[in-house]
Amino acid sequence: MFRFRLLLFQIAASCLAAGVCSAARAQTKTGIDVLGKEQFAALRGKRVGLITNQTGVDAMGRRTIDVLAHAEGVKLVAIFSPEHGIRGNADAAIANATDAATRLPVLSLYGETRRPTETMLKGLDALVFDVQDAGVRFYTYVTTMAYSMEEAAKRRMPFIVLDRPDPIGGEVIEGPTLDRDRLSFTGYFPMPVRYGMTMGELAQMFNAENKIGAELHVIAMRNWKRSETYDQTGLKWIPPSPNLRTIDEAFLYPGIEILQAGGVSVGRGTGTPFEILGAPWIRGPELAAELGKRKIPGVEFAPALFTPRDGLYKGEYCQGISIAITDRAALRAMRMGLEIAAALQRLYPTQFHLGKIIELVGSKDTVERLERGEELAEIEKSWQDDLARFGIMREKYLLYH
């Protein structure tokens, strides 16, 4: 008996060390499932508008659209779609449409307007938001939520967020803070590139710090810890946009996406977006060797050849690099992205347009430091005061431990 118990203890210890015991924990319940458990109390008796896309599903895989359309005491009147459309498969402006299953209007918030208009909101008693975020400042679903909350506040209309996990975890905050004079649809609030917050937490922060004054209700998740990434929740990964197909791509995205503005393909139009980058003027082995010297934590680089089917350099033969995550916990995507930018600037100064990456980096000081050739360790130090201030402010709005 003693030997048997000892064996069980050893197996359990090995399981924990390998991180394979997650099946024993309860699956995360997202906001839509919690709302259902609460008998849709927050929406009863209301005519509802729902902002959602293909990521808005419950634990059984049913669309939030269909769940609310059949919820007792709830009247779903209109659907609103963010960038990429209701199915999340478009990379262009979105037109209004009709949902085939419910025959309800689908009103685009990424077409002629990026805010719900008076006409769109007419006859509604509440707005509900259920969209999976990417955990990155320049991902536009953040701004769509904030703009919609502003419009709801103007009309004293309750705004309900059905919360979902930050897919790349809720602990790490990283990158430069957005300059206040660069607020835009890809930068709603002066915060770091990676903020480690859920949409419900962001909504609370925006509502208070920007003094929006919305009647905000967050339907919080159950069984989610800040340390957990999406693949530790028990939830099925649904790509939130056409090019974020895997959780590894979501981890690489913050650092790789910033480079496109400088003139490189980031893998759009290939089978592995954000896991590959290049251009016709890059020499893959040369760039891979340069990045290898920089010893960037958490990733490895190898020469790559590809021809994008879409996006920048569509149909053109490109050389570049493939990127493999070796240690997710050690990876700091912004550090990686800026190291790659510095390497491209050193090797290809006439072809790579370093100054243009400010479009998503959002910090003039950071880009100027890169242009002067400062070491990345020094650039990271320049962020620390802002990150500390953000961390203190962020703490007030966190819903999970």
Q: What average pLDDT does the segment 206-234 reach?
A: 98
pLDDT digits (tens, 9 = 90+) for 148-160: 999 999 999 999 9
Supply the angle between the helices 364-371 and 376-395 in degrees, to the nearest 10.
170
Strands 75-81 and 97-98: unpaired
Query: Are the C-beta atoms of 120 and 78 separated by less than 8 Å?
Result: yes
Q: Are 48 and 108 within 8 A, CB to CB?
A: no
- Domain 247-362 in this protein, CATH class: alpha beta
Q: Where do the H-state alpha helices sit in 295-375?
A: 333-347, 358-361, 364-371
Say how far apart CA 62 and CA 238 lie, in whole Å. 13
Determine the residue type at 64.
Answer: T
Q: Which amino acid is at 215?
A: E
Tokens of 282: 């890059």
Q: What is the pLDDT of residue 17?
A: 39
What mean pLDDT is predicted for residues 28-43?
98
Residue among 400, 17, 8, 393 nearest 209 (CA): 393
Which amino acid is residue 164, in one-letter code? R
In this structure, what token pair is assigned to residue 306?
A: 């590809």
Which residue in the block uniquely carries the two structure tokens 């007792």?
72
Write out the CATH class of domain 31-240. alpha beta
Written as six digits, the tokens of 158 are 């309750």
Domain boundaries, the chain: 31-240, 247-362
CB 82 within 8 A of CB 55: no
* Ordered alpha helix ranges (H), 52-155: 64-69, 118-121, 141-154
Please write the tens of the pLDDT for every residue from 270-329: 999 999 999 999 999 999 999 999 999 999 999 999 999 999 999 999 999 999 999 999
Confidence check: pLDDT of 9 > 70: no
Average pLDDT, the chain: 94
Q: Is the pLDDT of residue 350 over 70?
A: yes
pLDDT classification of 26: cutoffs 50, 70, 90: confident
The span from the CA of 326 to the CA of 318, in Å, is 25
**Which structure tokens are listed for 125?**
């008693």
Q: What's the one-letter identity of residue 5?
A: R
pTM for the model stands at 0.93
Q: Using the predicted structure, report yes or no on whether residue 111 has a pLDDT greater than 80.
A: yes
- What distance in Å separates the CA atoms of residue 64 and residue 10, rounded to the nearest whole number? 43
Say whether pLDDT at 248 is over 70. yes
* pLDDT for 209: 98
Strands (E) across 196-326 are located at 216-219, 276-279, 299-306, 318-325
Angle between helices 247-256 and 333-347 (to 10 degrees): 50
Closest CA to 77 of 111, 47, 55: 47
User: pLDDT tens for residues 54-71?
Assistant: 999 999 999 999 999 999
